[in-house]
Amino acid sequence: MSPAKSKSKSPGHEPPTPPLSPRSQGSEKLSALDGKNDTTSVKGDASLDTQPVSTAQVGSSTASDRAGAPDFLASMSLQSLLGKVVDALGEIFEKEALLREAKANAEKIIAMKAELEAREIERERRIDEVKEQLRAQVEKHVQEIMTTQAADLIKGMVSQNLKKRVADELASESQIPETLKARIKETQPTLVNMQVDLYNREAKRYHGTIRSHKDKDPLRPPLRPAKSLSAESPSTSAAAAQKAIPPTPISARTNSGSNQEMEVEPPTPSPLFPSNMRALMRLKLEDARRITAEYNWPVIPEESEGGIGDGGGESREHYINTIMSHSGIPFKLPTSPQRHTRRPTIITCLSPSNTRSPMW
């Protein structure tokens, strides 16, 4: 072999490959260990194909790789540890944010709970006040009602007992002397007549206030004279007693005994007596005559142009004038001899002072 050929084939004139850094060496070593060193092996094959590698270079590369492996492993461990620390710090920060939000919500809940408790206490206080007011009002109302009812009940019981005792005392024949009974029987008609006279005088006074014969105000029928019960049946006397006027204290004492001791019929008004002035002006002759007879009123003589008693008979107007005169009504119907052919339409008014009866 010639020296030129040996010179061309000798690789001593090419620069050596620089050594890899420790990090690259560690990566290549780890990838070789894990089976992931494809790229490194390809580069190695290419370098082997392009240029030859000396034994010294291979030895130095292996030595440097062995020296950088612990550093690489330490850095990888530190990196892994730092990653775990970062992850732990992230979790801590997330938990801290959640806890901060939960704490704020808890504080809001506590504040709302305290406010609700305060409102509940205030509401219960108001309810208690309303209950007390209602209780006081109900007690007062019930007390007033019970007081009124008790007073009415006591009053009714006392009145009933008093009436019963008085009735028992009056009904007891042993308590009333015979002389007093006889005196009561003698004075009873007089008392009844006095009541009738008093009532009729009051009716006359009322009728004296009438100012128009067309007035619709009701009239007060006077009471008829009292009659004896000796010739009447008990049923008739009972019916008359129901229509009688309310008894006075004197009549109540005289009539408190049995009905058999009553000697007079309770006075009643005539059912034929007109109810108002219009009905009085339209009264028929027969009804007017019956009213005059029931009350035992003396017929006033009829006046005419020739003087009293020259009227030639009795007329409807004549009886109506008699009724108005005895009842105290201050009106008078004119009469004339031609009363059968023509009825008078003119009504004259008398002075109320002439028809009023004095009160005694």
pLDDT tens-digit series, residues 79-94: 888 888 888 888 999 9
pLDDT for 45: 46
With contact defined as beta carbons under 8 Å apart, do 299 and 319 qualify?
yes
Q: Which tens digits make up the pLDDT trace of 258-269?
A: 444 556 678 889
pLDDT over 70 (residue 133): yes
In three-state secondary structure terms, 191 is: helix
pLDDT over 90 (residue 158): yes
With contact defined as beta carbons under 8 Å apart, do 54 and 13 qualify?
no
The number of helices, as runs of H, and strands, as runs of E, in the chain is 11, 4
pLDDT for 128: 94
What's the per-residue H, E or C state across 282-319? CCCHHHHHHHHHHCCCCCCCCEECCEECCCCCCCHHHH
Residue 98: CB atoms within 10 Å: 10
pLDDT over 60 (residue 321): yes
pLDDT over 80 (residue 289): yes
How far is it, in rounded angstroms, from Cα 114 to Cα 101? 20
**Higher pLDDT, residue 240 or 105:** 105
Task: Express as a percent the part of the chain with pLDDT over 90.
Answer: 23
How far is it, in rounded angstroms, from Cα 297 to Cα 282? 20
For 297-303, the CB contacts below 8 A with 24+ separation are 297/322, 297/323, 297/326, 300/325, 302/335, 303/335
pTM: predicted TM-score of the whole model, two decimal places: 0.40
pLDDT over 80 (residue 360): no
pLDDT for 57: 56
Average pLDDT over residues 131-146: 94
Give the chain's radius of gyration (CA, Å): 71
Residue 121: CB atoms within 10 Å: 10
Amino acid identity, position 319: Y
pLDDT for 341: 45
pLDDT for 337: 54
pLDDT over 70 (residue 155): yes
pLDDT for 106: 93
pLDDT over 90 (residue 138): yes
pLDDT over 60 (residue 73): yes
- Percent helix, strand and coil across the chain, each rounded to 5? 65, 5, 30
Amino acid identity, position 284: K
Task: Express as a percent the part of the chain with pLDDT over 70.
Answer: 59
**Higher pLDDT, residue 28 or 134:** 134
CA distances from 107 to 54, 102, 214, 262 (A): 77, 9, 95, 100
Average pLDDT taken over every residue of the chain: 72
Q: In sequence order, which residues have a C-beta less than 8 Å from that of residue 222 and are 6 or more positions away?
A: 199, 200, 203, 204, 269, 273, 295, 326, 327
pLDDT over 90 (residue 150): yes
pLDDT for 59: 56
With contact defined as beta carbons under 8 Å apart, do 28 and 37 qualify?
yes
Name the most confidently modeled range: 26-35, 228-237, 322-331: 322-331
Average pLDDT over residues 218-239: 64
pLDDT over 50 (residue 38): no
How far is it, in rounded angstroms, from Cα 284 to Cα 271? 14
pLDDT for 227: 73
pLDDT over 90 (residue 131): yes
Token output for 44: 């190695």
Residue 360 half-sphere exposure toward CB, CA atoms < 13 A: 8
Average pLDDT over residues 209-216: 75
Residue 15 half-sphere exposure toward CB, CA atoms < 13 A: 3
In degrees rounded to 5, what are phi and psi of residue 125? -65, -45
Rounded to 5°, the CA angle 200-206-210 comes to 135
Instruction: Please report which confidence band the pLDDT of residue 339 belongs to, taking 50, 70 and 90 as the band edges.
Output: very low
In degrees rounded to 5, what are phi and psi of residue 220? -105, 100
Q: Which tens digits make up the pLDDT trace of 292-317?
A: 999 988 887 665 444 444 444 578 88
